[in-house]
Amino acid sequence: MLEIIRSSDTKAIGKLLRAKSTTLAEAEAVVRPIIDDIRRRGDRALLRYAKKFDHLDFAKTGLSVSREEMRRAYREVPRGFVEAVRVAAANIRKAARKQLPKPWTCTTSAGVRVGQIIRPLERVACYVPGGRFPLPSTVLMSVIPAQEAGVSEVIVTSPRPAPAVLVAADLLGVKKIYRLGGAQAIAAFAFGTESVPRVDKIVGPGNRYVAAAKKLVAGECGIDFIAGPSELVLVGGRGNAEWIASDLVAQAEHDPDAVAIFITPSLKLALQVQAATREIVARLELPLAALALAAQGGIIVTRNMAEAVDLVNRLAPEHLTLFEGATSLLGQVQSAGSIFLGAYSPVAAGDYASGTNHILPTSGAARLRGGLSAADFVKAISVQELSARGLAGLEKAIVTLANTEGLKAHAYSIQARSSKKGAGC
């Protein structure tokens, strides 16, 4: 189960930190020929890989989901599901609206005005994995920010969309749902085929082959980020051991490669959490979670909270919970995908309905950016307008810099508009 490690055991901590790192090299070698094949042969290659990897026969099912299938899906979701989606969607939508950048203008010098305008992307694809669990929450987290950004066409794609996925997409007004997954789906939307439109951006989580495919097409199609196995680091000096353990087990439930780490200065609490974790896994019968906790889980006992926050910043985790005795560390946290403050802020709240996004950077990428937001679906375009007086005021600086770089035509384009035409060339 969860091993307890002293912070002085640098070898054990180093091993735990490395456990969260994943390499895409092997996956890239597998998916590169798939991507190249779909780029060259379009639908013929796409259909072959969909049949080979996802056992899909589009002659029987169709490439996209029909309205009849959508209607049937409503009869298969549990009671209360539609209302739950509406509650979660309302909160996610409120948060997404706040995430959008604003247009602005300012005067940088006399006669010179600069600013930015905001324009949405035209078409995006939201990837929803079709693995062990249905993921309607991923539909909400990817579609709603795109809609709030003003994207004209939002597409959902999933290899085997569960009824809950279909209903969630329909409730959000998604018009097109494709029955595609894996690297072949990423390639199809990145380049376009006879049956699949090319998109401006692909977002959403997936397995390592999906992540590798997103990395390989990123030069030609926008992506959110390359995500690996899910991660949680929980820091606390006191609190309910069962609550802490339940959060760690919930994280481990995602995937056998999921990372779940508890950092505390209290050996007593560490032992209590270790025991509670074992009891919860046995009671809920979660063998895959047990594997994840044994392989990538751990409890680190630190000398103090300063040491704990240093470890957090080294890990740059996808999810960070600052439990009781640790919430004051927020100002010292430099890198995390999403932060949960206090005993009543479990990660599951953000996974579903609090309003923040659960599509987050992993494997240390939180050092570079936060989670998916409405801002990922717009372009901030710079605008400038100079009067004759404004250009004259900048002429000397511009001409000097242009000539220093050896770009004579740049300098001339300024001088041609003034009485000093040709000077300095």
Active site residues per annotation: 318-319
Q: Using a CB cutoff of 8 Å and minimum separation of 24, what contacts does 224-227 make? A: 224/359, 224/372, 224/376, 225/361, 225/365, 225/369, 226/24, 226/363, 226/365, 227/359, 227/360, 227/361, 227/362, 227/363, 227/365
3-state secondary structure of 233: strand
Residues 257 and 229: beta-carbon distance below 8 Å: yes
The burial of 313, by beta-carbon neighbours within 10 Å (0-12 exposed, 13-18 middle, 19 or more buried), is given as: middle
**Nearest of 71, 74, 55 to residue 159 by alpha carbon:** 55
Specify which residues 203 forms β-bridges with.
Answer: 126
Q: Which residues contact 55 (CB under 8 A, 6 or more apart)?
A: none
**Nearest of 244, 238, 206, 240 to residue 225 by alpha carbon:** 206
Beta strands in 143-188 (DSSP E): 153-157, 176-178
**Calpha distance 192→47 (Å, rounded):** 13
Beta strands in 267-368 (DSSP E): 297-301, 319-322, 338-341
**Calpha distance 385→14 (Å, rounded):** 54
**Calpha distance 326→341 (Å, rounded):** 9
**Calpha distance 386→274 (Å, rounded):** 66
Structure tokens at 321: 């919970």
Residue 266 DSSP label = -
